[in-house]
Homo-oligomer: A and B are copies of this chain.
Amino acid sequence: MNDHSPSRTGGRAARRAARAAPLADHLRPIRAGMSGGQYTPLSDADVLRIHTAALDALERIGLADAPPSGVAHLTAAGAALGDDGRIRFPRALVEDTIAKANRTLTLHSRDGLHDLDLSGTRVHYGTAGAAVHMVEPDGRSYRESTVQDLHDAARICDRLDNIHFVQRPMVCRDIFDNFEMDMNSVYACTSGTTKHVGVSFTDPAFVAPAIEMLHLIAGGEAAWRERPFVSNSNCFVVPPMKFATESCLVMEACIKHGMPVLLLSAGMSGATAPGSIAGAIVQAVAECLAGLVYVHAVQPGAPAIFGTWPFDLDLRTGSMTGGSGEQALLTAGCAQMHRFYDLPGGAAAGIADSKLPDMQAGWEQMCSNVMAGLSGLNMVYEAAGMHASLLGFCHESLIIGDDLIGQAMRCVRGIEVTDETMALDQMEAVCMGGPGHYLGTAETLGRMEMDNVYPALGDRTSPKEWAERGKPDLIARATERKNEILSERSAARFDPALDAAIRAKFNIHLPA
């Protein structure tokens, strides 16, 4: 084969044509739900020791502060209420619950096109959190986050291929009434994206009205119950080893209304959890096992996500650090425990301590995101846009994060070893009488689109080309993309009749 032969030119034309048409979903190099698990931070023996220690903790220490309804459910299931008010869990009860719990869970999307299958080591990335600031990178400034910011974030996520779900990443600081804030959070997210949404509720009494809105959106209770497209992010514990009384009541209400629950244990290693990584994992596992027993005591088989979210602390200052290597290990270690239990699980990754989308943010977000994916974490929460150790959310960073997560997902996909990919015959043909290189071979062109991930904003030009293009700035390009997305009409918008119906019942702060 000659470099200047027509066949090579033909290859180029074919390559151009291939680039022009988007690939069918099953041919894309990466997609939601690819399987990880090539990385095992814990040995099998370590996993067993952590499991045993968690069972010991539940049996010896137990959890305080369950609400009366929780005490009733848990003691009926076989847990014991001590004189000290703590609920203790016999090993057999916990082991039995693990054995009976769902091995898989589908988190539904509103459109049916973005359902998430939480089984095995399938990996999904998305947003989450409760940031109180928006980061505006052009002015290097922090300001309070609003319901419009939240809606915009949902709209942006809706257009990013590698953001698979939208758990509310920030708080609407411009809505002062808790009820209105919760209702508007549900509205801002669900009207911005058809992907699965996660929200939290401040008060157990807010669940029923939210469900009313969701019934409207779904087209009735039956449709909602068949495909619940919103889950409840529920901080059911106040670590160490105390139930969060109100949140437990929220959880009970969500279970009743068919909403999947994320059992979120967010201990801070060195403050509300042990300062060692292993200790923080033991406590998080113990707490989530208690939550799992609770859920199954309320309703056997209710959908729940094992949400061990231990966070790391900078022990010098007592401030949280979400961007550290220790944080990446906390999350990856938890993911391995989820695999051991074979339960749908989630944890936090992708958090930057950096205040801006700079080099530090890049390495912090990649470190925990790629390790979470490789460890086979089903739900990687807070994966994009999060700065200042969860205090700030940034739309530009979210958009750039889509590239970053795409790369992490390529790593999760891993290395396919087959006779075809090992390419011995091709090597022989190329080296012995062939052109002496692999450029433009059918095999190379064939791999171009199906095997390789290309960044949307990440720049791979040479210094010369880069200079000729005016040295494009990553952040400025992300801002352009943001403005582009937000100026388009969103496909996730509610139809006018539905929107009017919702607005008739709820005080929606976003303009119609």
Q: Taking the full assembly, how many copies of this chain does it contain?
A: 2
Residues facing B in A267-292 (CB within 8 A) are: 270-279, 281-283
Chain B: minimal CB distance from A231 (Å): 28
Looking at A114-122, A188-196, A400-408, the stretch in contact with chain B turns out to be A400-408
- B411 with A359: CB separation less than 8 A: no
Residues facing B in A348-364 (CB within 8 A) are: 353-355, 357-364
The answer to whether A140 has its CB under 8 Å from any CB of chain B is: yes
- B279 with A458: CB separation less than 8 A: no
Beyond A271-B439, A360-B459, is A279–B325 a contact (Cβ under 8 Å)?
no
The answer to whether A241 has its CB under 8 Å from any CB of chain B is: yes
- Which of these, B321, B426, B436, contacts A460 with CB under 8 Å? B321
Once bound together, how far apart are the Cα atoms of A41 and B417, in whole Å?
A: 11
- A448 with B275: CB separation less than 8 A: yes
The answer to whether A466 has its CB under 8 Å from any CB of chain B is: yes
- B427 with A282: CB separation less than 8 A: yes
Looking at A50-58, A170-178, A301-309, the stretch in contact with chain B turns out to be A50-58
The answer to whether A19 has its CB under 8 Å from any CB of chain B is: yes
Residues facing B in A384-437 (CB within 8 A) are: 388-389, 391-392, 397, 400, 403-404, 406-411, 414-418, 420-424, 426-428, 430-432, 436-437
Chain B: minimal CB distance from A28 (Å): 14
Once bound together, how far apart are the Cα atoms of A438 and B270, in whole Å?
A: 5
- A422 with B282: CB separation less than 8 A: yes
Nearest B-chain residue to A325, judged by Cβ = B410
Nearest B-chain residue to A429, judged by Cβ = B61
Once bound together, how far apart are the Cα atoms of A44 and B409, in whole Å?
A: 22
The answer to whether A75 has its CB under 8 Å from any CB of chain B is: no
Residues facing B in A75-93 (CB within 8 A) are: 84, 86
Beyond A370-B370, A415-B333, A417-B278, is A316–B363 a contact (Cβ under 8 Å)?
no
Residues facing B in A331-376 (CB within 8 A) are: 333, 353-355, 357-367, 370-371, 374
Report B-chain residues with C-beta under 8 Å of the C-beta of A354.
458-459, 474
- A415 with B42: CB separation less than 8 A: yes
The answer to whether A245 has its CB under 8 Å from any CB of chain B is: no
Beyond A240-B427, A274-B427, A421-B276, is A363–B360 a contact (Cβ under 8 Å)?
no
- B366 with A454: CB separation less than 8 A: no
Report B-chain residues with C-beta under 8 Å of the C-beta of A324.
407, 410, 452-453
Nearest B-chain residue to A49, judged by Cβ = B417
Once bound together, how far apart are the Cα atoms of A437 and B270, in whole Å?
A: 8
Beyond A325-B408, A359-B474, A444-B270, is A460–B317 a contact (Cβ under 8 Å)?
yes
Report B-chain residues with C-beta under 8 Å of the C-beta of A84.
432
Nearest B-chain residue to A360, judged by Cβ = B458
Report B-chain residues with C-beta under 8 Å of the C-beta of A19.
316
- B276 with A443: CB separation less than 8 A: yes
- B278 with A438: CB separation less than 8 A: no
The answer to whether A447 has its CB under 8 Å from any CB of chain B is: yes
Nearest B-chain residue to A472, judged by Cβ = B355
Report B-chain residues with C-beta under 8 Å of the C-beta of A471.
140, 355
Report B-chain residues with C-beta under 8 Å of the C-beta of A463.
133, 142, 355, 388, 391-392
The answer to whether A315 has its CB under 8 Å from any CB of chain B is: yes
Report B-chain residues with C-beta under 8 Å of the C-beta of A241.
427, 431
Once bound together, how far apart are the Cα atoms of A437 and B272, in whole Å?
A: 5
Report B-chain residues with C-beta under 8 Å of the C-beta of A404.
363
Beyond A362-B363, A436-B240, A439-B271, is A278–B421 a contact (Cβ under 8 Å)?
yes
The answer to whether A46 has its CB under 8 Å from any CB of chain B is: yes
Report B-chain residues with C-beta under 8 Å of the C-beta of A5.
none
Chain B: minimal CB distance from A325 (Å): 3
Nearest B-chain residue to A142, judged by Cβ = B463
The answer to whether A318 has its CB under 8 Å from any CB of chain B is: yes
The answer to whether A383 has its CB under 8 Å from any CB of chain B is: no
Once bound together, how far apart are the Cα atoms of A427 and B388, in whole Å?
A: 29
Residues facing B in A227-278 (CB within 8 A) are: 240-242, 270-278
Report B-chain residues with C-beta under 8 Å of the C-beta of A462.
319, 388-389, 391
Chain B: minimal CB distance from A319 (Å): 6
Nearest B-chain residue to A441, judged by Cβ = B275
Kindly list the 4 A-B residue pairs having the minimum CB-CB distance in the complex, ordered from nearest: A362-B362, A279-B423, A325-B410, A275-B444
What are 16 A-B contacts defined by CB distance under 8 Å? A38-B40, A41-B414, A61-B432, A240-B436, A241-B427, A274-B444, A275-B451, A278-B416, A283-B423, A316-B454, A354-B474, A358-B358, A360-B400, A360-B455, A364-B366, A388-B463
